[in-house]
Chains A and B, each alone.
Chain A
Amino acid sequence: MSRRVFLGIFGNEEDILAATRAAREAGYKISDVYTPHAVHGLDAALGLRRSRLPWICFLAGLTGAVLKVWFEFWTTMVDWPVNVGGKPWNSLPAFVPVTFEVMVLSAGVTTLFAFLVVARLWPGHKPALPQPGITDDRFVLALEEADAAFDAARVRRLLEKFHVVEVEEHLQEEAA
C-alpha cells in the first residue's frame, strides 16, 4: 500500500516552525520534518513526546551495577575467596570502581543500541527519505493524507501563509 505525502519546502527555520505549529493545530497528520540542522523548538511545535531513552539509560545502568555487585560478592565470597591484605571477603569499597565502570558501560552501550533501534538505523536499512537530498539545504514539512477530508488546495493555502517555496506531492511506499 502506498500513501500520499505533501512536501512543503521552506527557506528558513522561522517559517518551518510556524508552519509546523499551524499544521498541527489545524489537525493535519505530520509524517515528519526534515531540516539541515537542529531547529530549537521544533519538538514542541511537532508536539513530540519526550524521548524515553533516559529511562532505558537509567534502568540499564542500574541493572549493570546490581549485577556487577552481585558478581563480585559471588566471586570473592562464594566461588573463589582470596585473602587480600586481611580485608573481609565482602569488601564493598573495593567493588565500587569496577561497579561504576560496568554501570557506565552497560548504560552507554544499551542506550546507543536502543537509539539505533528506535531511529531505525540498523545496517542495511534503506533511508526513508521522500526525496534524496532533502536534508541538504531545505526545510521540509511532510504532511500525510490521513483521511478523505484531506484537501490538497487547503493544505497549499495554509502553507502559503508561511512563505512556502514549493509544494510537492509524493507517493510513498508504506514501510513494512
Chain B
Amino acid sequence: MTSEQFDLTPAPQTVGLFRAFAALGGLTVLLGLFLAPQRMWPDLLFGSYALLCLGLAGLFFVALQYVSGASWSVALRRVPEAMAATLPVGAAGLAVILLVKPSLWPWLGMSWQAAEGYLGFKRVWLSQGFFLARSAVYLAVWLAFALAIVRTSRQQDASGAPELTRRNIRLSTAFVIIFSLTFCLASSDWIMSLEPKWYSTIFGVYNFAGLFTSGLAAMALLVVWLQRTGALKHSVTRDHLQDLGTLILAFSTFWAYIWFSQYMLIWYANLPEETIYFIRRAHGYWKTLFLLNFIINWVVPFLALLPRGNKRNPRVLVTISIVVLLGRALDLYLMILPPFSGAQPVFGIWEAGVLLGTVGLFALVVLRALRQAPLVPIGDPFLPESLHYHA
C-alpha cells in the first residue's frame, strides 16, 4: 500500500460551496457586530462553541479508540483526527468573545452589592480574572493534546513503529481524564454561567452527551461522503458504518437519559431558583422548540437506528446524522439564546448566517486537515485488523 492511493481531491464545486458558506458567515458576523451586536455576540458564542465541541468530539473519539484498544476504527481514524483541526478555530472565536465582549456573561463587572444572593463560592469562582485564566488553561490543554495525538498518529505513517501506538495510548489516557474534568468545568463556565443564578450539577455531563452524539454524526457524514467519492471506498465497509450507527444510537440515548435526569430532578424539587431555567424554555414558542429538541435528538434517531439494516444503510445513516446535527444546533440554541432573546425565540438573518458559516468553516478546515496526511493510517499495526472487520 502506498500513501498516494489514499489522497483526497474534493470536487471544486464542493469546496466552492463551503467557501461561499464560510464567506457568508464571516460577512454576517462582521455586519452583525455593528448592526445588531446584542444578537451577534450570543450567536458568535453559539458558533464558536459548536465548532469547539465538534473538534473535541473528534479528539475524544480518537483517544477513546486508543484507550480501549479498539482496532475496528483504525481505517476511518483520519476523519476524527481531521475534525480535531476545528479546535483552534473554535478556540479563536471564543477567545475573541472572552477578550472583547466579556459582558456577555451578566455576572461580569457586577458589584458586590448586586451580587447579593450568590454563594461565597460563586463569588470567588465567577470573578473575571479567574474566569479568563481558567478559559485559557482549558483551551491550551486541549490544543496541546490535539497537536500531540494527531502528530504521533501521522508520524506512524512513515515509520510504522508500534512504540508510537503506545505513546498515543499514554497521551489518550491522560486526555480522557483531563478532558472529562475540564470540559465539565468549561461548559459550566461558558454556557451555564450565562444564567448565573441557575445551576445544575449534571450540566457538564449533559453537554458532553450532546458533544459526542453530534461528533459521531458529523463523523458518519464525512465517512459516508469519503466512501462515496471513492477515497475510502475499499477501506470502509458497511460493518464500520454499522458500528458508527450503533454508537450514534447509544449516545443519543445517553443524551436523552441525561436530558431527562436534569429535567426530572428540577421538576420534582420545584425550587424557584432551579425551575426558572425550564420555565423560560417551556412557555410560548420556546415550548415547541423544547419538545422538538427531545424528538429530533432522541426519538427519531432511536427508532430509526434500532434495526440492524438501517445502521448499515448509508442513506439512512446520512439522514439520521443530519437530523442529529440539526438537533445539536437546536440544543445549543436552547442552552445559549433564551437569556438574550427573551420571551420568544428569534431566528433571522444573523442566526442563519452564523449557522451557515459554522458549517462552511467546519467543512473547509476538516477538508484541509484530511489532505495533510494519507486518508488511512497506513503505518498503524492494527490497520489490517480494521480492514477485515466484521460487525
A contact residues vs B (CB 8 Å cutoff): 40-41, 50, 54, 58, 85, 93-94, 96-97
Contacts and interface: CB of A to CB of B under 8 A. Distances in A.
Contacts of A54: 306-308
Contacts of A40: 390
Contact of A96 (B264, B270, B306): B264
Nearest to A84: B268
Given A54-B307, A96-B264, 6 more contacts: A41-B390, A93-B260, A93-B263, A93-B264, A93-B268, A97-B264
Size range of the interface on B? Answer: 10 to 19
A54 B308 CA distance: 9
Given A40-B390, A41-B390, A96-B260, A58 B267 contact: no
Contacts of B264: 93-94, 96-97
B268 A50 contact: no
A95 to B, nearest CB: 10
A85 B267 CA distance: 11
Contacts of B307: 54
Contacts of A97: 264
A93 B308 contact: no
Contacts of B306: 54, 58
B270 A93 contact: no
Interface string B299-343: 000000011100000000000000000000000000000000000
Contacts of A85: 268, 270
A94 B263 CA distance: 11
Contacts of B260: 93, 96
12 contacts: A40-B390, A41-B390, A54-B306, A54-B307, A85-B268, A93-B260, A93-B263, A93-B267, A93-B268, A94-B264, A96-B260, A96-B264
A54 B249 CA distance: 15
